[in-house]
Every structure is written in C-alpha cells, then in structure tokens.
Chain A
C-alpha cells in the first residue's frame, strides 16, 4: 500500500487517467457492446419467430 501511495504521488496524471478515465471508457465500451449484442440477439429471435409462424 505504501508503494501505491508513493507511486500515485509521483505519477498523479497517470493515476487519474488509468484509474478513472480508462476505467470509465471500458465501462462505456462494455455497455455499448452489450446493447449492440442484445439487439442482434433480439432481431434473430424475432426473425426465427416470424419464420416459424410462416411455416405454420
């Protein structure tokens, strides 16, 4: 822990960038990927359901 304390005081901008902005970016990217994936899956399900309906 002392090592981290010393490191963050010597590299404040790196600490701020990696710790908060990079983490936030990763969270946003994961959220966007989840939303895009969900849309693809839902569209597939709707198409399958429509195709199943057409066959009947």
Chain B
C-alpha cells in the first residue's frame, strides 16, 4: 500500500499526527535517558587517563551531534519551504531553532566544564569551539530575524535564507579538528569504527538516541502551537476538541 507523504505536509493532517506521536517519543526518551545514565555512571568503567571527568562525554557528544544535526534539518525544512512554498516547512524550521540552540548551549557549556580539568581552561579560541559558538549565533540570528518580521510567511522566507547560508558552518564544525591544529581532540567515533570501550559506546549511543527522541517530542509539541497560532482563523482549528472546550 503506497503512503501519500504529501498528505502529511499539510498542517491540518500533521497537527493530529504530531499530537498522537508526542507521548510515545517523550516516554521513550525518558526511558532511554534513564538507561543511558545508568550505563554511563554505573556500568561504564573509569577512564585510564581522564578518570571520572570523561563521563561528561555522555551528554557532551550527543548534545554536539544534535546541535549540528538539528541545524541541517532546520536548513532542509527552510529550503523545502522556499522551493515548494509549503506552509508546514517554515513552521517546522521555526520549531526546530530553539531546541537546536539549547543543544548548542549544552554542548558549549559541558565542553567548557570538561575543558577545565583536562586542559586547564574553560575556553580557547580553538577552531572547533569557535565554529560551535558561531552555530549558536546562527540559531539565535534565525530566531531573532524570524521574530522581527510580523508577516509569518515573509519571516519564514527571510529566516530560511539565513538558515541555508549558515549551513556551511556545519561541515566546518565537523572537519575543523582535521583541517586545523586544534586543542579539541579528533573524532573518536568514525565511519570506520571506534576504539571506545563497549559500555562507553552503549551509554553514548543510548543518550544520543534519547536526545534525538526528546528533540522530536519537543519540536512536535512546539510546532503544534505554531500551527494553532497561524491557522487560528480557519474552520478546522475552531472545530478542534481542545479549542471547543
């Protein structure tokens, strides 16, 4: 049976679908966070060189990955909105930006916390850290630009351009540790494999999956409010049970 995916690009259909999916993603995220923290703090052994401090990895690496991934998803939705002029794309891009910005903030914060005991400093103007900071400014710029334009469709288009141009920063963040001599270590997990101990890997991937599911739940909840707000003058919104109450 073929699924008509275009059906879900309509806010009318997507609103109900998102409402049904949120609890599943939220509960799964909470369970996986608990499992990930258990493996990370109880099962995974102490690192030979970094001692207990390395355990920041279980939130730092997933947050950093999510910050880049969410930006690319946001830019993809923004591009879809520009190309196909679909209403939902702009809404999804604006719903993704705050979560992406928060993951970037968590990444920078936990990185600084890890840097202090390992490198002796909270911050360095190192290529990886600086490009991640620029990512935070890009997210904040997207949010500010969108908020500064009253017409939501025009705001979507203007902010979409910023998101697309800013996406060039994501590969710069990823490859910065290869292209330049950085204080930040190179990638531990590569496409060719990893030298990490198995319990450490399990904790990190569980936390990554938890962050992913959390992001989906929170973004879907936010986009439902955006849909409600933008479509408030339509008949279908006024016929929703939660509006009729």
Contact = CB atoms under 8 A, between A and B. Distances in A.
A binds B: yes
Interface in A19-46: 19-21, 23-24, 27-28, 31-32, 35-36, 38-39, 42-43, 45-46
Interface residues of B, number: 36
Interface string B200-238: 000000000000001000100110110011001100011
Contact of B99 (A8, A13, A31): A31
Contact of B243 (A19, A27, A43): A43
Contacts of A2: none
Interface stretch (B108-116, B129-137, B155-163, B180-188): B108-116
B117 A8 contact: yes
Given A39-B224, A43-B242, A19 B53 contact: no
B60 A42 contact: no
A44 B85 CA distance: 29
Contacts of A36: 221
Contacts of B224: 39
Contacts of B102: 27, 31
B110 A20 contact: yes
B111 to A, nearest CB: 10
A27 B12 CA distance: 31
Given A20-B59, A28-B214, A39 B225 contact: yes
B53 to A, nearest CB: 5
Interface of A: 8-9, 12-13, 15-16, 19-21, 23-24, 27-28, 31-32, 35-36, 38-39, 42-43, 45-47, 49-50, 53
12 contacts: A19-B113, A20-B56, A20-B110, A21-B37, A27-B105, A35-B218, A42-B229, A43-B242, A45-B229, A46-B243, A47-B243, A50-B243
The 10 closest A-B pairs by CB, nearest first: A12-B52, A20-B110, A19-B113, A42-B225, A42-B228, A46-B232, A39-B225, A38-B225, A35-B221, A42-B229
